[in-house]
Amino acid sequence: MVATQPIGVFDSGYGGLTVLKSIVQQLPQYDYIYLGDNARTPYGTRSFETVYHYTLECVQRLFDKGCRLVILACNTASAKALRNIQQLDLPTLAPDRRVLGVIRPTTEVIGTYSKTGQVGILATRGTVTSESYVVEIEKFFPDLKVYQEACPMWVPLVENGEHNGPGADYFVQKHLDRLLQQSPEIDTLLLACTHYPLLLPKIRQFVPENLTILSQGDIVANSLQDYLHRHPEIDAQCSKGRTLHFYTTDSAEEFEQKAGLFWGKPVRAERLAL
């Protein structure tokens, strides 16, 4: 019997489930493993070195589970760890395996949504500080003006189930106002954290109706489909049994209680010790 070789999807917590949900909807035929490093979340406030160390450790565990391809469905990990893992670790650790992120797929298309040539990035402090979006967008859309705003309270609001409550209004409006005050010409907003789609109803309350708001799930799913089409040798290594397994580095019971908010229905999880 051939061992399962699932596609691994990693996040520091729950937000990556919004990306995995879009991927499974678009590419249901594959086997998937999700790993949330809930024991060490949040990543957004941690140093580059710490995020890199934590991310590499989790990628290795997904490799141990048979994954030939791993998606870092976490903007902070993509910003602070992906390049080192791709360039320094994979060539010696696992030259036949691949690790992809969520930033590049997004920056490859973001310019096509803006008519004014001005976009706003809403992200964690770690992602904003890394300047990853600014650097990557410059490669594909050098004339696009990019404005950023760090939203440190948004992830805690979501993870504590307060994102729909009246208490969230202040923090959502505060950061949207700060971003839009940087330029009246911003016509496209990117939710550059996989938790933020859950705040979308609140966000829409505080921005002009004609503003385009992008979430990353469908963008990443489209990019993955294209990647597997362009790399049949990688696609052939990914097993296609339509299975789905959820793992967390913290309490499986707590993960199950909160994950349904992101996944849209109850999940069963197992704890994975690092």
Binding residues for substrate: 11-12, 43-44, 75-76, 194-195
Q: Tell me which residue of 37, 34, 47 sits closest to 7, measured CA to CA.
A: 34
Cβ 35 vs Cβ 4: under 8 Å = no
Helix, strand counts (H, E) of the chain:
14, 10
| Known binding-site positions | 11-12, 43-44, 75-76, 194-195
Tokens in use for 111? Answer: 């310019």
**Is position 58 annotated as part of the catalytic site?**
no
206, burial (CB in 10 Å: exposed 0-12, middle 13-18, buried 19+): middle
Cβ 143 vs Cβ 117: under 8 Å = yes
Going from the C-alpha of 186 to that of each of 20, 201, 202, 207, the distances in angstroms are 29, 19, 19, 11
List 212's β-bridge partners, or say none.
188
Task: Choose the catalytic residue: 58, 67, 74, 151.
Answer: 74
Task: Choose the catalytic residue: 58, 67, 151, 193.
Answer: 193
CA distance 194 to 198: 9
**Is position 74 annotated as part of the catalytic site?**
yes
- Kindly list the catalytic residues: 74, 193
